[in-house]
Amino acid sequence: MKVLGIDLGGTNVSMGVVNEEGKIVKKLTIETRVSDGFESVVQRISKASLKLIESIGGIDGVGVGSPGSIEHEHGIVRFSPNFPDWIDVPLASELEKRIGVKVVVENDANAFVVGEKWFGSGKGYTDIIGITLGTGVGGGVISNGQLLRGSTGIGAELGHIVVEPNGYMCGCGNHGCLETIASATGISRLAKEWKERYPKSSLADFSAKSVMKAAQAKDPLGLKVLERVSTALGIALGNLIHIFNPQLIVIGGGVSRAGEVLLSAVKRRTRENVMRSFWGTYEIVLSDLVDDAGIYGAASMGFEEIKSQSLEEKGV
């Protein structure tokens, strides 16, 4: 069985054919070119998908991970900050018309945590929280083996947990969301704001990657930003642990490439925010699917759909 996973990003679309053993058989990347409009983007994704499918001799399903509020049941993108003109667009049905295979669409952060369950650190676990630290902060929750979407299918917006009341203005319209601190954008902003306070810092490039590297090298500015980021994550994860009692928390996204310096700080801050009775009930790890997590996540939704259909046919 093979599924095509499509990771839809604001700049690029990454796609790959994944088999049940978790191997990416073949993949490619194209530019998204959002400004060309929905129809054009769908047409280009479809053309690239058909080329990829033909090259490996067919597939059994297609999964798409898209940022934003997604109505999973009908594959509709209700709204996405990365695609401002995509309001209530029927992404799944439009791709199905062109590709000729069943397409399922899911929020990319939800897809991430399902991908971890199928192919990553979450194998064998029933209660998992996934957090993605990229341009924004996303998240997904699996409880008792089931992905939680909420009453209208757009729940688990974990990046918008408020960690600093009256803090920075967030793109969602609220203040002090986790995303304003722990995203790559937030990290860069913090470093720029504090640069005058740390004249001995060697940091010249204020990208999140550079800031985290500076923290690894014990640069004072890098360490200050890391402290703020890990504190915000510790508050958010502490709340999530109290609510969902997960076995595993997986941190992914580009910022997670910071590695042990980030992980150890987050573990410490999370423990400080967790009740004693929860100590030892959870583990926090970094995703080992980082570079291909989007493809694996999207493909996992296709596998979930095939599994669900099979159970229905058996009357389970």
pLDDT by residue for the chain (316 residues), tens only, comes to: 999 999 998 889 999 999 989 999 999 999 999 999 999 999 999 999 999 999 999 999 999 999 888 999 899 999 887 788 899 999 999 999 999 999 999 999 999 999 999 999 999 999 999 999 998 899 999 999 999 998 888 889 999 999 999 999 998 889 999 999 999 999 999 999 999 999 999 998 999 999 999 999 999 999 999 999 999 999 999 999 999 999 999 999 999 999 999 999 999 999 999 999 999 999 999 999 978 999 999 999 999 888 877 666 666 5
What CATH number does the domain containing 102 carry? 3.30.420.40
Q: Which among 164, 192, 196, 166 has a CA at the least distance from the CA of 179?
A: 164
Q: Is residue 86 in a domain?
A: yes
Q: Are residues 99 and 12 in the same domain?
A: yes
Q: Is residue 229 part of a domain?
A: yes
Q: Is residue 118 part of a domain?
A: no
In a domain, 117, yes or no: no
Residues 136 and 9: beta-carbon distance below 8 Å: no
Q: Say if residue 168 is in the same domain as residue 309.
A: no
Q: Are residues 131 and 263 in the same domain?
A: yes
Do both 127 and 51 map to the same domain?
A: no
280 lies in the same domain as 305: no
Asked if 198 and 284 sit in the same domain, the reply is: yes
Total tally of structural domains belonging to the chain: 2
Residues 195 and 100 in one domain: no
Same domain, 99 and 146: no
Residues 156 and 178 in one domain: yes
Q: What is the predicted pLDDT for the residue at 309?
A: 75
Asked if residue 149 and residue 98 are part of one domain, the reply reads no
For residue 93, give its domain range: 2-112+292-313
User: Are 51 and 142 members of one domain?
Assistant: no
Residues 139 and 269 in one domain: yes
